C-alpha cells in the first residue's frame, strides 16, 4: 500500500528529543522557517535553503544572506543531519527515522490492518453481547414458565 508521506510524516510529527532540540535552528530554512526539505547550500557563505524555496523565488539572483551571485550545491552534511530525525507516524504512532519513512509507508505501516482487527473485535463483542442478552431473556422467560407451572 503506497501512502502520501506528507500526510503521515509532516514537521509536526518530529519527535522533539534532545538531539532535535540541540540542532533545530540549524535545520530550518531561513526563507520558509520550516525544517529543510532537500537542503541546498550557498557555495560562498554556506547558508542553507530548501530546494523548493529557491525554485519558488526564481527572482532571487543573489544569496539572501551574503548578497553574492547565487551558486548553490546540495548540502550533504545537512541532509545527513535531517536523515537522523525521528518522526511519529500519524497512522500507526510508530517512531520512524527519516531514512525509513518510505519503507514504513510502503511495507510496514499496520494502521489499516489494526483498524480492521479493531473493527472485527468490536463486532465480535457486540455479537457476544447480543447473544448474552438473548440467553438472559430465555433464562428469564424459562423461570417465568417454571414459576407459573409450580404455582409461584
Give the contacts of 138 (CB within 8 A, at least 6 positions apart).
none
Given CATH 3.30.40.10, say whether it is the number of domain 5-109. Answer: yes
CB 3 within 8 A of CB 105: yes
- Average pLDDT score over the chain: 78
Q: Please give the C-alpha separations between residue 3 and each of 54, 109, 114, in angstroms, as whole numbers.
A: 27, 9, 16
The mean-pLDDT minimum among 20-24, 60-64, 101-105, 109-113 falls in 109-113
pLDDT in tens, 87-138: 888 888 888 888 888 888 877 676 655 555 556 677 777 777 777 777 777 7
pLDDT category of residue 56 using cuts at 50, 70 and 90: confident
Provide Rg for the chain, Cα atoms. 29
Please tell me the predicted confidence (pLDDT) of residue 118: 58
| Residue 2 confidence (pLDDT) above 50 | no
| Residue 3 confidence (pLDDT) above 60 | no
CB 32 within 8 A of CB 11: no
Name the percent of the chain lying above pLDDT 90: 5
CA distance 60 to 70: 8
Amino acid at each position: 500500500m503506497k501512502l502520501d508521506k506528507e500526510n503521515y510524516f509532516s514537521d509536526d510529527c518530529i519527535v522533539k528529543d534532545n538531539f532535535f532540540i540541540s540542532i533545530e535552528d540549524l535545520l530550518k530554512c531561513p526563507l520558509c522557517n520550516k525544517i529543510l526539505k532537500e537542503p541546498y547550500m550557498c557555495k560562498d557563505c554556506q547558508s542553507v535553503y530548501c530546494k523548493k524555496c529557491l525554485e519558488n523565488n526564481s527572482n532571487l539572483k543573489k544569496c539572501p544572506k551574503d548578497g553574492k551571485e547565487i551558486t548553490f550545491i546540495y548540502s550533504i552534511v545537512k541532509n545527513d543531519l535531517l536523515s537522523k530525525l525521528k518522526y511519529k507516524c500519524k497512522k500507526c504512532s510508530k517512531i520512524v527515522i527519516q531514512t525509513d519513512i518510505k519503507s514504513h509507508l510502503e511495507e510496514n505501516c499496520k494502521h489499516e490492518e489494526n483498524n480492521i482487527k479493531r473493527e472485527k473485535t468490536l463486532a465480535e463483542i457486540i455479537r457476544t453481547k447480543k447473544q448474552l442478552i438473548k440467553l438472559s431473556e430465555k433464562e428469564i422467560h424459562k423461570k417465568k414458565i417454571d414459576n407459573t407451572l409450580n404455582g409461584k
